[in-house]
Amino acid sequence: MTRTISIIPQPGKLEVGSGAFALTAETRIFASDASVPMGYYLARLLRPVIGFQLPGERTSTSPDTANAITLRLTPGSGKKRPAPESYALSVTDAGITIEAPRPAGLFYGVQTLRQFLPPAIESQTSPSGVAWTIPHVSIEDAPRYSWRGMHLDVSRHFFSVSFVKRYIDLLAMYKFNRFHWHLTDDQGWRIEIKSHPRLTEIGAWRTERDGTISGGFYTQDEIREVVDYAREHFITVVPEIEMPGHAQAALAAYPELACTSGPGEIAVWNRWGISKEVFCAGKEATFDLLEDVLAEVVALFPGPYVHVGGDECPKDRWSACDDCQARIQAEGLADENALQSYFIKRISRFLSKRNRQLIGWDEILEGGLAERAIVMSWRGTEGGIQAARAGHDVIMTPTSHCYFDYKHADRPDEPGQWGVIPLKKVYDYEPTPAELTPAEAQHVLGSQGNVWSESMPTTRDVEQMVFPRLCALAEVVWSPRGQRDWEDFKARLRAHGERLQALDVEYYRDQEIWPA
Ligand code: ACM
Ligand code: ZN
């Protein structure tokens, strides 16, 4: 039993003893009250060991901890409040204990425990001859950042509910807690809206340049299923409904909301790029539709955030549109940038009244930021720095480090687009810009990997662009800054290859980690 310990992300404090605890079919899971769902979750993970019958006993009285895994909520007391997602994990001859102030911490303790077990634990079969042993350890762990996100673009290519759930599983294993679901764009509208059915009847389907039809969308029942599933994995789903740009699919369904084009002139786009067809900011009907849409979105997504895009909105149509120009006049706006700011601020007020905080790409800074808006800094870090200095919360997701649609390596035959982001570059990323004062740095909620799917027609493509860079980012957003160690990470990641294989994840075989 000399398997090296390879936990990703690396825990804050990890002490290893000399013995080991052996899990057997007789091992029990003890959980009580609010930790019971976690007990069942753990029992499902441990099926290859403890069998496929109902999980171990549960009790609210003090269990005999010999040969048991005990999950215990310890809310803490007094002045020193524990970090909300923290946990402590202890493995001794007497058994395994996970303690946490909140269920989220228990969940992360379970994810750590899972990675102590051989990769066969992931296979959900009952392999024979596996030693289910866990070294004696003592761990105290908590995340560095509260926003540990992964994004997925389901507009450029549509991915099934079952894949989205698998994606959530994989995020959860590496302790991510935000799933940014990019649901609308020029190339497809993917969320059923009951008040405006044409958004999916028309907007979810595109005629490719070879004449084939592609697309799909999620029904509201499916959206709820994903949101519930994510909640069970301590992941908040952040829906993104793009406006005022990246709206061509919506405008194919409702062309009267474009500036100057007539019916039949706009189709769901079958090219990549930035469409000039954007929502008209002059017509009240635009806001009527978007408010109807957002009312349904708010009802479906209980999380505190709604992302409204705001990026890459060409102003060509607005400059030529009587309605947009009349709005600029009536509102005393300086120019089209100010009109975009008016647009986002108006939507932000609508969301605020419904208790939701608006998130936008860093273009929402142009022409003035809406009150309380959160900025996602993607065109480098400047937008994030500017917003943090203005007292706004920010999420750092620059194209230089966080775009997992970029190639893994600088070779012409590598899949991917736009640029190259090798694994080490992700690993070395520091989300908090050095320019910020400690007070300003408090506004950096964390970081996120973005996965634009133009070059990813299949789920296998998604997996192989995302992995193993996701593992590197997990450590960036979770582990203490001073503890990051590239050589050590490489060794741990090497071991994770087997775990990813057991999970049937199609990861990029980085030569530096897994030499051929
Ligand atoms: C973006 O990549 N257009 C946010
Ligand atoms: Zn217009």
Q: Is 158 found in the same domain as 116?
A: no
Q: Is 131 found in the same domain as 179?
A: no
CB 218 near ligand 1, within 6 Å: no
The pTM assigned to this predicted structure is 0.97
Q: Is 88 found in the same domain as 188?
A: no
Is 385 part of any domain?
yes
pLDDT confidence bin for 26, thresholds 50/70/90: confident
Q: Residue 299, by phi and psi: left (phi above 0), alpha (psi -120 to 50) or beta?
A: alpha
Q: Is 460 found in the same domain as 383?
A: yes
CB 312 near ligand 1, within 6 Å: yes
Is 109 part of any domain?
yes
Looking only at the bridges linking them, the beta strands covering 184-185 and 147-153 are: unpaired
More confident residue, 474 or 51: 474
Is 503 part of any domain?
no
CB 378 near ligand 1, within 6 Å: yes
Instruction: Examine the residue annotation and report whether 185 is marked as an active-site residue of this protein.
Output: yes
d(CA 65, CA 62): 8
Determine the distance separating the centroid of ligand 1 and the alpha carbon of 94, expressed in angstroms.
Answer: 51
**Opening angle at CA 263, ends 257 and 269, nearest 5:** 75
Write the residue with the smallest CA distance to atom 3 of ligand 1: 311
**Opening angle at CA 478, ends 88 and 113, nearest 5:** 40
Is 297 part of any domain?
yes
Q: Is 162 found in the same domain as 110?
A: no
Question: Which of 378, 394, 397 has the most ligand 1 atoms within 8 A of CB, as the residue to mutate?
Answer: 378
pLDDT confidence bin for 348, thresholds 50/70/90: very high
Is 513 part of any domain?
no
If you ran DSSP here, which 8-state letter would residue 120 be given? G
Per DSSP, the three-state class of 78 is coil
Instruction: Examine the residue annotation and report whether 33 is marked as an active-site residue of this protein.
Output: no
* Tokens coding 318: 């607005």
Find out whether 347 and 278 touch, Cβ atoms under 8 Å.
no
The number of domains in the chain is 2
Q: Is 152 found in the same domain as 137?
A: no
pLDDT in tens, 137-175: 999 999 999 999 999 999 999 999 999 999 999 999 999
Find out whether 424 and 475 touch, Cβ atoms under 8 Å.
no
d(CA 351, CA 361): 16
d(CA 331, CA 347): 16
Determine the distance separating the centroid of ligand 2 and the alpha carbon of 192, expressed in angstroms.
Answer: 26
Q: Is 437 found in the same domain as 322?
A: yes
Q: Is 182 found in the same domain as 53?
A: no
pLDDT confidence bin for 65, thresholds 50/70/90: low
Write the residue with the smallest CA distance to atom 2 of ligand 1: 378
59: domain CATH number is 3.30.379.10
Look up the domain containing 288 and give its range. 147-481
> Which amino acid does the sequence have at 271?
R
280: domain CATH number is 3.20.20.80
Q: Is 56 found in the same domain as 171?
A: no
Which H or E run includes 309? Answer: strand 305-309
Q: Is 235 found in the same domain as 136?
A: no
Instruction: Examine the residue annotation and report whether 485 is marked as an active-site residue of this protein.
Output: no
d(CA 23, CA 429): 38
Confidence at residue 97, expressed as pLDDT on a 0 to 100 scale:
95
- Out of 99, 153, 185, 405, pick the active-site residue: 185
Give the residue-averaged pLDDT of 370-388: 97
d(CA 363, CA 275): 16
Pick from 61-70, 197-206, 496-505: least confident = 61-70
Question: Which of 152, 185, 312, 376 has the most ligand 1 atoms within 8 A of CB, as the residue to mutate?
Answer: 312
CB 232 near ligand 1, within 6 Å: no
Find out whether 510 and 486 touch, Cβ atoms under 8 Å.
no
Residue that is last in its domain, among 141, 156, 186 = 141
Helix axes 459-466, 469-478, angle to 10 degrees: 50
Q: Is 453 found in the same domain as 416?
A: yes
pLDDT confidence bin for 130, thresholds 50/70/90: confident
